[in-house]
Chains A and B, each alone.
Chain A
Amino acid sequence: MDGAALWLTLRLSIATTAILTLVGIPLAWWLANTRWRGRFLIEAVVALPLVLPPTVLGFYLLVALGPHSPVGKGYEALTGSMIPFTFPGLLIGSLLYNLPFAVRPFTAAFSSVDRRMIEAAWCLGESRLGTFFRVALPLCWPGVLTGIVLTFAHAIGEFGVVLMIGGNIPGVTRTLSITIYDDVQSLDYASAGQTALFLLGFAFVVLCLAQLLSRRGASL
Chain B
Amino acid sequence: MSEELVVDFEKRFAGGTTIRANLRRPAREFNITVLFGPSGCGKTTILRSLAGLERPEAGEIRFNGETWFDAQQGIFRTPQARDIGFLFQDYALFPHLTVAQNIGFGLRALAKQERTDRVDEMLRLFEITGLESRYPNQISGGQQQRVALARVMVRRPRLLLLDEPLSALDASLRENLRWELRRLLGEFRVPIVLVTHDRVEAIALADQVVVMEQGVIRQTGSVQEVFTRPADLSVAKIVGTETVEPGRVIGTEDGLAVVQVGGVELLALLPEHIKEDAYVCIRGEEVVLQRHVDALTSVRNRLVARVVSIVPEGPMVRVGLDCGFRLTSLVTRPACEELRLQIGEEVVAMLKAPAIHLIARG
Contacts and interface: CB of A to CB of B under 8 A. Distances in A.
Interface of A: 114, 116-117, 119-127, 130, 134-135, 138-139, 220
Interface stretch (B89-97, B217-225, B346-354): B89-97
Given A123-B85, A139-B94, 17 more contacts: A116-B90, A119-B79, A119-B86, A119-B88, A122-B79, A123-B51, A123-B152, A124-B155, A125-B80, A125-B83, A125-B106, A126-B105, A126-B108, A127-B80, A134-B105, A139-B95, A220-B95
Contact of A124 (B53, B78, B96, B151): B151
A125 B80 CA distance: 4
Nearest to B163: A116
A165 B322 CA distance: 90
A122 B88 contact: no
Given A120-B86, A126-B106, A139 B96 contact: yes
Nearest to A118: B92
A119 B52 CA distance: 10
Contacts of B86: 119-120, 123
Contact of B105 (A114, A119, A124, A220): A124
A53 B95 CA distance: 43
Contacts of A138: 96
Contacts, number: 54
Contact of A119 (B53, B106, B151): B53
A220 B92 contact: no
A121 B105 contact: yes
B91 to A, nearest CB: 9
A130 B106 CA distance: 11
B53 A120 contact: no
A124 B90 CA distance: 16
A114 B106 contact: no
B174 to A, nearest CB: 21
Contact of A114 (B52, B78, B92): B92
Contacts of B80: 122, 125-127
B201 to A, nearest CB: 21
Nearest to A124: B106
B319 interface: no
Contact residues on B (Cβ < 8 Å of other chain), bracket: 20 to 34
**The 5 nearest A-B residue pairs measured at CB:** A124-B106, A123-B86, A120-B92, A116-B92, A122-B79
B277 to A, nearest CB: 48
Contacts of A114: 92
Contacts of A120: 86, 88, 92, 94
Contacts of A117: 92, 94
A68 B100 CA distance: 63
Among A121, A125, A127, find the residue whose CB has the most chain B CB atoms closer than 10 A: A125
B205 interface: no
Contacts of A220: 95-96
A37 to B, nearest CB: 10
Contacts of A119: 51, 53, 79, 86, 88, 92
Interface in B54-96: 78-80, 83-86, 88, 90, 92, 94-96
A134 B51 CA distance: 21
A124 B105 CA distance: 7
A122 B78 CA distance: 8
Given A138-B96, A220-B95, A116 B106 contact: no
Nearest to A139: B96
A135 B106 CA distance: 12
23 contacts: A117-B92, A119-B53, A119-B92, A120-B88, A120-B94, A122-B52, A122-B53, A122-B78, A122-B79, A122-B80, A123-B51, A123-B84, A124-B151, A124-B152, A124-B155, A125-B155, A126-B105, A126-B108, A127-B80, A135-B94, A138-B96, A139-B95, A220-B96
Contacts of B152: 123-124
Contacts of A124: 105-106, 151-152, 155
Nearest to B104: A124
A121 B86 CA distance: 10
A211 to B, nearest CB: 22
Nearest to B48: A119
Contacts of B78: 122
A65 B203 CA distance: 72
A117 B136 CA distance: 13
A125 B78 CA distance: 9
A86 B217 CA distance: 68
Contacts of B94: 117, 120-121, 135, 139
A138 B80 CA distance: 21
Contact of A123 (B53, B95, B109): B53
Contacts of A135: 94
A114 B136 CA distance: 15
A115 B22 CA distance: 28
A122 B105 CA distance: 11
Nearest to B82: A123
A204 B151 CA distance: 45
Contacts of B151: 124
A172 B182 CA distance: 73
Nearest to A130: B108
Nearest to A115: B92
Nearest to A117: B92
A135 B86 CA distance: 17
A56 to B, nearest CB: 38
